[in-house]
Structure 1
């Protein structure tokens, strides 16, 4: 029986454990956090990500958790609406093979699918790694040692596995901060089954109201010194940057004050590496290729990466280096494309000027025109393959 140690119990790590377990691998997942974490931002599964979720058997578990489509209202700073993008526009653009869920629900579905097939150790890190042509030995922070055929680093954009195996310097930090958190109760000023979105120079705020336990807030903004804002914490930083807005934003920030630890709050970075593997150590997900939230395909790429890694390992059986090389060659073009799209997308989420805001508004309004919807759908289908 082949064995793998997987570092990280997020989407990438759990999906990899599930996929390898389906081929008979024995997997051990170690996670630095003391318990499972969840965050409330919305992720879209489409293209290769949707296909992967289907192949590894996740769709039935996600069917009750999917959020469906909703109306989006673009608003001014005081909350007055500019124009509305009906849910039918998203349906026409995205097509049938797509699903929107909260990240925490996706992680829960993965965890429930894999918990009886793998060992998960929370509050555990990798202390040291030794590898040779025949295997890898991993010393864990709890004092135990695990011998494996493969070590998989799926521990996110700040990956300790990446630093230990490949050195530093692969993370490209960008001058933006992002925050996302669930809303137990919908906030005032946002109609039910809709989202209100404010896009202004250098910042975006979006509040999604899909009912109790199904609502969330998302913020991103350009920041000259992200580290300083991260030290201030999400409540102070978001209050200073978005405190002048209406449309549910004040209530959302007050909600966050009750439990700031509930927020995903971080600087924005991409990870750019010449190789994702070295011998029997491989990186996957944000640890290898973080595309940022601006790309909108992070969860989909994590699922697709896990599924395709499993398929490559099955094809090559005992030749792990050959499997990793084939896997990377097949996936890297899609990652490169998504990272480039994310860099362009920064101007959509944090427009440099009011002129760029106006141009964004024109582009969004154009999507609502009947003749444009088909073009958008075909463009999304092409970029999702």
Structure 2
């Protein structure tokens, strides 16, 4: 039985372990964190990501946790509505083969699907790895040494595996900070089954009320020194950046203050590598190609990347290196496209001026018109093929 060591127990790592285990591999998954994480932001599975979820038999379990579509209300700083986007607009634009879930729920579903098929080790890191033409020898912090046919780095945007393989300097840190966290209580200031979104120059605040255990908050803003914001921590940083807003924002910040450790809080980054593999070692997911939250396809690309890697390895049998080359060639164009879309997305999430805010609103108003809505849907369908 072929063996693989996978670094990282997030979406990319668990999805890869699941796909390869189904193909007869023996995956060993090591994760630096002492336990699984929960919560997180909303992720959309569409296009290749939805197709991969189908092939991995994840859709039935995910459907039970799907958040569905909801009305979005653009609001002013004082919380007063100025534009409503009905849920049917999103439904028409995205089509039937899409699903929105919490990142934590996607990870839970993957974990339950793979837990009995893989050796999962939390609180464990890779201390060293040596490879030759036939194998990779991986020494782990738990004192064990594992021999495998393949080492996969799926340890996220801050990947230690990437730094070890290719050195530093491949992560492009952008002048934005993002925060996302679940809300313990549905925000009273936000109508049920809807999201209120404030978009102003350099910042966005979105509060989603889908009921108990299904509500969340998302914040992003442009700043001169993201490292300083991260040092301050999510509560003081977000209060300074969004404390003037009304609506559901004060409720969300109070919720965060009660449990700041439950927030995803990081700078916005992209990863740009000339290649994703060397020998019998390969990077996958954000470790290889982080497109950033502004692209909105990180989870979908992680699932698609894991599924396509399994297909390439299955096609080439024991010949790992041609499989990795074929896999990267088939996926890179999609990644490059998503990264470009993310850079344009900065103008949507953190528009540089009031003029850009107004232009965005004009675009959104146009999308609500039936004829334009159909054009947008067809454009999205072409992008997701």
With structure 1 as the length reference, what TM-score do the two structures score?
Answer: 1.00
**Secondary structure of the residue that 2:362 maps to in structure 1?**
helix
Counterpart for residue 302 of structure 2: 302
Structure 2: gaps of 5 or more residues:
none
Counterpart CA distance in 1 for 2:112 and 2:318 is: 29
The offset of 1:149, in angstroms, is: 0.3
Counterpart for residue 48 of structure 1: 48
**Secondary structure of the residue that 2:188 maps to in structure 1?**
coil
Counterpart CA distance in 2 for 1:167 and 1:317 is: 30
Counterpart for residue 191 of structure 1: 191
Counterpart for residue 141 of structure 2: 141
Counterpart for residue 25 of structure 1: 25
Counterpart for residue 106 of structure 1: 106
**Secondary structure of the residue that 1:270 maps to in structure 2?**
strand
Counterpart for residue 256 of structure 1: 256
Counterpart CA distance in 2 for 1:337 and 1:66 is: 27
Counterpart for residue 344 of structure 2: 344
The offset of 1:79, in angstroms, is: 0.3
Counterpart CA distance in 2 for 1:285 and 1:158 is: 11
Counterpart CA distance in 2 for 1:268 and 1:293 is: 7
Counterpart CA distance in 1 for 2:39 and 2:276 is: 27
Counterpart CA distance in 2 for 1:208 and 1:40 is: 13
Residue by residue, what CA displacement relative to the aligned partner does 1:91-140 show, whole Å, maximum 9, x if unpaired? 00000000000000000000000000001100000000100000000000
With structure 2 as the length reference, what TM-score do the two structures score?
Answer: 1.00
The offset of 1:39, in angstroms, is: 2.7
**Secondary structure of the residue that 1:83 maps to in structure 2?**
strand
**Secondary structure of the residue that 1:44 maps to in structure 2?**
strand
Counterpart CA distance in 2 for 1:136 and 1:91 is: 47
Does 2:73 correspond to 1:81?
no
Counterpart CA distance in 2 for 1:382 and 1:173 is: 30
The offset of 1:247, in angstroms, is: 1.3
The offset of 1:187, in angstroms, is: 1.2
Report matched runs for 1:232-243 at 5 Å. Answer: 232-243=232-243
**Secondary structure of the residue that 2:185 maps to in structure 1?**
coil
Counterpart CA distance in 1 for 2:269 and 2:62 is: 29
The offset of 1:40, in angstroms, is: 2.8
Counterpart for residue 329 of structure 1: 329
Counterpart for residue 16 of structure 2: 16
**Secondary structure of the residue that 1:28 maps to in structure 2?**
strand
Report matched runs for 1:38-187 at 5 Å. Answer: 38-187=38-187
Counterpart CA distance in 1 for 2:168 and 2:9 is: 22
Counterpart for residue 368 of structure 1: 368
Counterpart for residue 285 of structure 2: 285
Residue by residue, what CA displacement relative to the aligned partner does 1:174-210 show, whole Å, maximum 9, x if unpaired? 0000000001211121000000000000000000000
**Secondary structure of the residue that 2:51 maps to in structure 1?**
helix
How many equivalent pairs are there?
385
**Secondary structure of the residue that 1:79 maps to in structure 2?**
coil
Counterpart CA distance in 2 for 1:171 and 1:287 is: 9
Counterpart CA distance in 2 for 1:38 and 1:274 is: 33
**Secondary structure of the residue that 1:324 maps to in structure 2?**
helix
Counterpart for residue 377 of structure 2: 377
**Secondary structure of the residue that 2:335 maps to in structure 1?**
helix
**Secondary structure of the residue that 1:49 maps to in structure 2?**
helix
**Secondary structure of the residue that 1:77 maps to in structure 2?**
coil
Counterpart CA distance in 1 for 2:317 and 2:247 is: 55
Aligned-residue RMSD, C-alpha? 0.5
Counterpart CA distance in 2 for 1:246 and 1:140 is: 49
Residue by residue, what CA displacement relative to the aligned partner does 1:191-244 show, whole Å, maximum 9, x if unpaired? 000000000000000000000000000000001100000000000000000000
Residue by residue, what CA displacement relative to the aligned partner does 1:351-371 show, whole Å, maximum 9, x if unpaired? 000000000000001000011
Counterpart CA distance in 2 for 1:244 and 1:178 is: 18
Counterpart for residue 265 of structure 2: 265
Counterpart CA distance in 1 for 2:230 and 2:130 is: 35
The offset of 1:166, in angstroms, is: 1.1
After superposing on structure 2, the runs of 4+ consecutive aligned residues of structure 1 that deviate more than 3 Å are none
